[in-house]
Amino acid sequence: MTTWVIEVSLQPRLHDAERARVRETAAELHLAMPEPVRFCRLYVIAGNLSERDARRAAEELLADPVADVYKLRPLDRHTEPDPTCAYVLYHPGVMDPVALTCLDALQEMGLAVEAVRTGRAYRFEQPVADRLRRTVAYRVLANDAIEQVHWGRLPAEVFQEAAPYEFRLVTVPLRDADEQQLLRVSRDGMLALDLDEMKAIQAYYRQLGREPTDIELETLAQTWSEHCSHKTLKGPVDYVEYGPDGRPHRTRRFDTLLGETVFRATQELRRRWGQQHDWCVKVFADNAGIVRFDGDWNLCFKVETHNHPSAIEPYGGASTGVGGVIRDILGCGLGAKPIANTDVFCVGDLTLAPERLPAGVLHPRRVLKGVVAGVRDYGNRMGIPTVNGAILSEPEYLGNPLVYCGCLGLIPAGKEHKAPQAGDLIVTVGGRTGRDGIHGATFSSVELHSESAEFSGGAVQIGNPITEKKMLDVLLAARDRGLFHAITDCGAGGFSSAVGEMAEGLGAEVWLERAPLKYAGLSYTEIWISESQERMVLAVPEESWPELERLCRAEGVEATVIGRFLASGKLVLKYGDQVVGELDLEFLHKGCPRKLRRAEFRLPAGAADRRLPPPGATSARSLSEVLLELLADWSICSKEWVIRQYDHEVQGGSVVKPLVGRVQDGPSDAAVLRPVPESPAGVALACGINPRYGRVDPYRMTLCAIDEAVRNCVAVGADPERIALLDNFCWGNTNRPEQLGSLVRAALACYDGALAYGTPFISGKDSLNNEFRGELDGQPVQLVIPPTILISAVGIVPDVARCVTMDLKEPGNLLVLIGRTRAELGQSALARLLGWDGGDVPTVDLTEGPAAARVVSRLIGSGAVRACHDISEGGILVALAEMALAGRLGVTVRLPGDEELVRELEADNATAEQLRLGWLCSETPSRYLLEVPERSLATVEEAAAAGGISYRLLGQVTDRPRVVVEDAAGKIVLDVGIERIKAAWQAPLDW
Amino acid sequence: MATVRALVLRAPGTNCDVETAYALEQAGADVERRHVFALREQPEQLDRFQLLVIPGGFSYGDDIAAGKVFALELSRYLKDAVLRLHARGGLILGICNGFQVLVKAGLLPDPDTGAGRVTLSFNDSGRFEDRWVWLQVRAGNSPFLAGLDRLHLPVAHAEGRFTVRTAEDLTQILQDGSRGLLRYSAPPGVSADGVPYPWNPNGSEGDVAGLADRTGRILGLMPHPERHVLDHHHPRWTRSDPDRGPLGSGRRIFENAVRWLRAG
């Protein structure tokens, strides 16, 4: 057996992007690192191979004859180390998709290859100094959560044989343990179970008269974990609300928090509509919420978070987040086809000086680049367009960024019901099981700290999208042939939660030794709780198994029987002939003690006399400069650098793209797809999120997010009567009453908002414990994220031909403002720009908000609207600039008179400058800007009057590409050219 | 009317097969989508078809290099059948990943000269990009391109930089007027020196976005014509700019192919 090393690099005349990335990253970190001169893709190939064989491998497969050069050498332990070179290899056991492809292809070529590893090699102009090596290795070249850097030469043992597994049944003495011992068992085993839960388990085994096995304890821990059971939000809560005066003025006991807020709103709406008009199909009961699209098709929608893995390994965390939510859709009902992805990222201060980074924390720029690349590589390879999202940057996300991944699916009507039958085979399909991702569910249920990267080693994973794509293709075909009774994804908890969940109300026997493994050495417990990616579990009737197996084999997908569903009420786990675990399903699913939690919230005092920024707040800046600086705010600036890296048009259903306008650089409010070419109907996807408001009041934040998600859908042509919502709560540690209290406020807003807008919540997810503890300059640092709710919306567009985009279309048309403007500048983009902490956070008027949406929708439906844009961060001023920029046209706007501004803003003593700035930059929700031809003005008037909504003729579209604002007397107070607007808006993320 | 039978060949990771089949059906073809594992068992199945289309996607994950593993498979198991199709006057179309496969399998620029003259390498921008481009068409003798002058289509790839081994190869391709050719160009009405990024979205040499073989019957291109077959695919369909070009213009490549085959 010989081992060959092949290093492939681009021809020197071609642009080497990886080398450029290395240079750029070092510069960002202010590292005085020697110049990188060459980057090589590294292949290490072992087998019975002559030099000629190895050369064939290089020339026919690994190196492109035109673009690449390669070097070949045997791996030799006596090679002199080359101090200018760094080799990067994955840690053993980390998924290496390229190596798998390589191995197959080389064997296909008839070469006797036995093993392949891939890696990267970097050569520098000079040796990298010893003191710099660690920094260069793990902050520039590689991530130590998944990779190892070898300086000078490759290790002699590139291939390590995994030791075979020797069976040994492990039991955990529990029956006689005292409280301290119980807690130690939980902590040492990383079970994340609290004392009450451990006691419930102890009582169960005392009753059985035996000790638990390790696999039973793990099963309980996975199933009862916050991540899998959402026990906090589904459990009872005692809530007390204190007024600004410090006295309690409201208390409420929830038997189940979500059940009495989010779920209840949907139930009440469905009752209101009656069976005949109910368009919810299946809500809060499956992997995703299902709503009707048309008579033949339904839509499934789900958004997940993957925060903790992304904090440690952004690329792997985000890509497996995407992979996971896609499997939610594929496992929804009897399987839906994923048709669109969404993603939202919240990261720390992107301009943070590298010296201000606590130990163990990745720089926000590195996090953002990593998560974008992760979503890109997984979503694009799956052939699913990524069409909507948001990026926010706030300092509190530094140690605990948020990564939301969403997926929309299409499923034939009637395929939403599933139920395993006694006697069905338990079949695992897709990827193999390895040691990766062990304890992901319990890891995500605790706080992050500076050693999380080491502590969680196994929880971080790399995905293999092609395995998932192959699986997707065969499973949809199998669904159409009716080859299985039920399907679910292997997510957190692996087989333990997938099989455990499916067996609920039935029973199952699992044969763990049959699960296909990536490598030898896994114990029965590791097989059971591994969270290896790209696996689904099916309930297959015995008679359909041969056909399913054939179908899978025909497309190179692995499918294996690992057990059988039985009407036994028990979950029996076997390894060979040995029973290694036996649990009552009733205890597993209902035995977790319900814990009453305390929640408190202190209402903030109103801003009263500080409703507008003080006079002279902007004296250092002209109004034009204010606009240009607002455009550079992270929540406002162009996201084109991100959007273009995502394939947003694959599947051929694109109607409104994320970037629109004259040269497709304007920010669309929502994306629209036409998923069924035979139908003229479309789907709009949008979101609402603003954690800045959450710092003051999560109730108002949540209503604003709902209003924004609705606005965005309506602005492109969705029917406001047919918008469904998802909630994603990301909070700090809700064991603290004030954290849970702020979450209760948000849940109450979900209830009020859903009923007012007639927008049911159909699914959701929560991620608690988003906190980070670490050290900076020897001082402890604790960072708690601001309460962050993401509202995602899916809306039906009756006819895609009626869609409108936000770019200005034609000089001479009129601009109309729909909705009232109040003095709501608290936590606004303007407030941040001025460093001003006053002002009121926006409040949604629950009558006007839905009414405004209906008015705008009616106008769009009538064909009167040429462009529509919602007003959000930065207010009217930013919305105007974006519309003009996107259309490469100008706009001239006339402000209301001072008296009118005083009346509208309720600001008696304000100066003219305060009034103008306040009115232009207020973030009052439920407002839209419309471009309408002059002849349609009467239609707008009628519709607004009929809907009880105020409107104002704001100005006119011009052919001079400038944004001009005049005061009531016609004096110009702002005049900025489109080119400057474009430059300011695009600069921050022009990476 | 004679039936035109088209085969859309997919591999693990192909992901534009459904919309490509749709575009062909709209153009009037009778379309089958088939997995390469099935076809390589019985390559003679290809003899029933007049049009072979390799659609976009990430065959085998783009692992090693885009299209490389699928190209090896094609060369090893299907080369004879593909050359038979070509020899009897059939048409072959590779879009995006399909173009990468045809080039790496040596079917383009010409099947008789083999691989190694040109390739599609990493974009100069260093990343995957989805954006719309303008193409200047030289139809040459290619039935796919007959009557076309300009096209507006999206690209979506990370490895689309047309790269030649020698300057002579490029000159030959550019100067042979009978060879069908698609080149990135400036938007209509804009005069500029050369075709800088992002008009040439990947740094392709000679601004080459696609090309046909000498017979004109094999065509490969990086842009996606199947993503511009409906009016609302056009990024500016809600506008009425005079320079936006016709809506749905990508359909014409598929219509050309079907019409030409039908005419026999």
Kindly state the tokens that stand for A257: 């928090």
How many C-beta atoms surround the C-beta of residue B1 within 10 A?
5
Residue B198: asked if its preceding bond is cis (omega within 30°), the reply is yes
How many C-beta atoms surround the C-beta of residue A107 within 10 A?
14
pLDDT of B233 higher than 80: yes
Q: Do residue A10 and residue B121 have CB atoms under 8 angstroms apart?
A: yes
> Strands A337-347 and A386-393: what pairing?
parallel
Torsion sign over Cα A972, A978, A983, A989: positive
Q: At what angle do helices A698-716 and A848-861 cross, to 10 degrees?
A: 10
Catalytic residue list contains B96? yes
- Measure the CA–CA gap between B246 and B151, rounded to whole angstroms: 9
Instruction: Please report whether residue A182 resides in a domain.
Output: yes
Over residues A45-102, the pLDDT tens digits come to: 999 999 999 999 999 999 999 999 999 999 987 778 888 999 999 988 788 889 999 9
Query: Which of A540, A574, A592 is the last residue before a domain boundary?
Result: A592
What DSSP letter does each residue of A258-319 carry, written as one string?
A: TTTTHHHHHHHHHHHHHHHH--EEE-SSSSSEEEESSSSEEEEEEEEE-HHHHHH-HHHHHH
- Measure the CA–CA gap between A180 and A178, rounded to whole angstroms: 6
**Of A450, A422, A631, A644, whose CA–CA distance to A542 is shortest?**
A422
On whether both A210 and A130 belong to a single domain, the answer is: no
Model pLDDT, residue A605: 79
Model pLDDT, residue A620: 81
Kindly tell me the burial class for residue A80, based on how many C-beta atoms sit within 10 Å of its own C-beta (0-12, 13-18, 19 or more).
Answer: exposed
> Strands B5-10 and B51-54: what pairing?
parallel
Model pLDDT, residue A625: 96
A14 and chain B in contact, CB less than 8 A: yes
Write down the mean pLDDT value for chain B.
96
Instruction: Please report whether residue A535 resides in a domain.
Output: yes
Over residues B144-167, the pLDDT tens digits come to: 999 999 999 999 999 999 999 999
Q: Do residue A101 and residue B13 have CB atoms under 8 angstroms apart?
A: no
On whether both A114 and A205 belong to a single domain, the answer is: no
Write out the E strands in A807-948: 814-818, 867-870, 890-894, 928-932
Q: At what angle do helices A214-224 and A195-208 cross, to 10 degrees?
A: 140
Write out the E strands in A48-166: 68-74, 85-90, 113-124, 147-151
What does DSSP assign to residue A357? P
Q: Do residue A660 and residue B235 have CB atoms under 8 angstroms apart?
A: yes
Model pLDDT, residue A457: 47
CATH architecture of B5-263: 3-Layer(aba) Sandwich (3.40)
The CATH number of residue A812's host domain is: 3.90.650.10
Q: What is the mean pLDDT of residues B131-155?
A: 98
Query: Which of A592, A620, A653 is the last residue before a domain boundary?
Result: A592
Q: Do residue B64 and residue A652 have CB atoms under 8 angstroms apart?
A: no
Partners of A108 in the β-ladder: none
On whether both A110 and A62 belong to a single domain, the answer is: yes
Torsion sign over Cα B239, B241, B242, B244: negative
- Which residues in chain A have Cβ-Cβ distances shorter than 8 Å to B227? 649-650, 652, 654
Instruction: Please report whether residue A17 resides in a domain.
Output: yes
Q: Do residue A66 and residue B117 have CB atoms under 8 angstroms apart?
A: yes
Partner residue opposite A556 with nearest CB, options B19, B37, B121: B37
- Measure the CA–CA gap between A669 and A477, rounded to whole angstroms: 35
On whether both A454 and A550 belong to a single domain, the answer is: yes
- Check if the beta carbon of residue A445 is closer than 8 Å to that of residue A364: no
A577 contact partners, CB below 8 Å, separation of at least 6: none
- Check if the beta carbon of residue A335 is closer than 8 Å to that of residue A475: yes
What does DSSP assign to residue B166? S
- Which residues in chain A have Cβ-Cβ distances shorter than 8 Å to B129? 644-645
On whether both A104 and A198 belong to a single domain, the answer is: no
Query: Which of A93, A116, A151 is the last residue before a domain boundary?
Result: A151
Using DSSP, state whether B127 is helix, strand or coil: coil
**Of A718, A816, A686, whose CA–CA distance to A303 is shortest?**
A686
A508 contact partners, CB below 8 Å, separation of at least 6: A426, A499, A502, A563, A564, A565, A566, A568, A570, A571, A572
- Measure the CA–CA gap between A516 and A309, rounded to whole angstroms: 25
Kindly tell me the burial class for residue A178, based on how many C-beta atoms sit within 10 Å of its own C-beta (0-12, 13-18, 19 or more).
Answer: exposed
- Check if the beta carbon of residue A485 is closer than 8 Å to that of residue A541: yes
CA distance B193 to chain A (A): 20
Using DSSP, state whether A877 is helix, strand or coil: helix
- Which residues in chain A have Cβ-Cβ distances shorter than 8 Å to B38? 554
Model pLDDT, residue A455: 45
- Check if the beta carbon of residue B224 is closer than 8 Å to that of residue B152: no
A18 and chain B in contact, CB less than 8 A: yes
On whether both A116 and A218 belong to a single domain, the answer is: no
Number of H helices, E strands in chain A: 32, 40
What DSSP letter does each residue of A217-247 carry, written as one string?
A: HHHHHHHHSHHHH-HHHHS-EEEEEE-TTS-
Instruction: Please report whether residue A621 resides in a domain.
Output: no
- Check if the beta carbon of residue A724 is closer than 8 Å to that of residue A791: no
Model pLDDT, residue A143: 86
First-to-last C-alpha distance (Å) of chain B:
11
CA distance A254 to chain B (A): 47
3-state percent breakdown (helix, strand, coil) of chain A, nearest 5: 35, 25, 40
Cα A618 to Cα A179, A632, A729, A872: the distances in Å are 61, 17, 36, 21
The CATH number of residue A144's host domain is: 3.30.1280.10
Active-site residues of A: which are they? Answer: 227, 306
Greatest alpha-carbon pair distance for chain B in Å reads 53
Specify the length of chain A in residues. Answer: 991
Q: Which helix (H) or strand (E) holds A905?
A: helix A898-905
Model pLDDT, residue A456: 45
On whether both A455 and A541 belong to a single domain, the answer is: yes
Q: Find the closest chain A residue to B225 by CA distance.
A: A652
Specify the length of chain B in residues. Answer: 264
- Measure the CA–CA gap between A881 and A60, rounded to whole angstroms: 54
- Measure the CA–CA gap between A139 and A360, rounded to whole angstroms: 11
Instruction: Please report whether residue A582 resides in a domain.
Output: yes
Q: Where are the domains of chain B?
A: 5-263
On whether both A517 and A573 belong to a single domain, the answer is: yes
The torsion angles phi and psi of B240, rounded to 5 degrees, stand at -125, 35
Q: What is the mean pLDDT of residues B179-199?
A: 94
Model pLDDT, residue A431: 95
B174 and chain A in contact, CB less than 8 A: no
Q: Do residue A17 and residue B126 have CB atoms under 8 angstroms apart?
A: yes
* Chain A interface, best mutation among B26, B40, B63, by max A CB count within 10 A: B63
Percent of chain B residues topping a pLDDT of 90: 95
First-to-last C-alpha distance (Å) of chain A:
46
Kindly tell me the burial class for residue A533, based on how many C-beta atoms sit within 10 Å of its own C-beta (0-12, 13-18, 19 or more).
Answer: buried
Instruction: Please report whether residue A941 resides in a domain.
Output: yes
How many C-beta atoms surround the C-beta of residue A524 within 10 A?
25
pLDDT mean for each 10 residues of chain A (991 residues): 94 92 90 93 96 96 96 85 92 86 95 96 95 92 89 85 88 96 93 94 97 96 87 93 91 96 98 96 95 97 94 93 97 98 98 91 95 97 98 96 98 97 98 81 59 52 92 98 97 92 96 94 94 96 98 97 97 97 96 95 77 85 95 97 98 98 97 97 98 95 98 98 98 96 97 98 94 90 96 98 98 98 96 93 97 98 97 98 98 96 92 95 98 97 97 97 97 97 97 90
* Chain A interface, best mutation among B168, B232, B244, by max A CB count within 10 A: B232
Instruction: Convert A909-925 into a string of H (helix), E (strand) and C (coil).
Output: CCCHHHHHHHHHHCCCC
**Of A935, A693, A915, A664, whose CA–CA distance to A814 is shortest?**
A935
Model pLDDT, residue A441: 56
Nearest-5° Cα angle at A599, A597 to A602: 170
Q: Do residue B12 and residue A66 have CB atoms under 8 angstroms apart?
A: no
Q: Burial letters for A502-515: b for 16+ Cβ neighbours within 10 Å, e otherwise?
A: bbbebbbbbbbebb
Overall number of domains in chain A = 3
On whether both A143 and A228 belong to a single domain, the answer is: no
On whether both A977 and A908 belong to a single domain, the answer is: yes
pLDDT grade, residue B136 (50/70/90)? very high
On whether both A70 and A186 belong to a single domain, the answer is: no
Q: Do residue B121 and residue A67 have CB atoms under 8 angstroms apart?
A: yes
- Check if the beta carbon of residue B65 is closer than 8 Å to that of residue B104: yes
- Domain extent for A898: 804-991
Kindly state the tokens that stand for A184: 């130690």
Instruction: Please report whether residue A883 resides in a domain.
Output: yes
CB pairs under 8 A between A and B: 183
- Check if the beta carbon of residue A878 is closer than 8 Å to that of residue A636: yes
On whether both A520 and A569 belong to a single domain, the answer is: yes
Instruction: Please report whether residue A272 resides in a domain.
Output: no
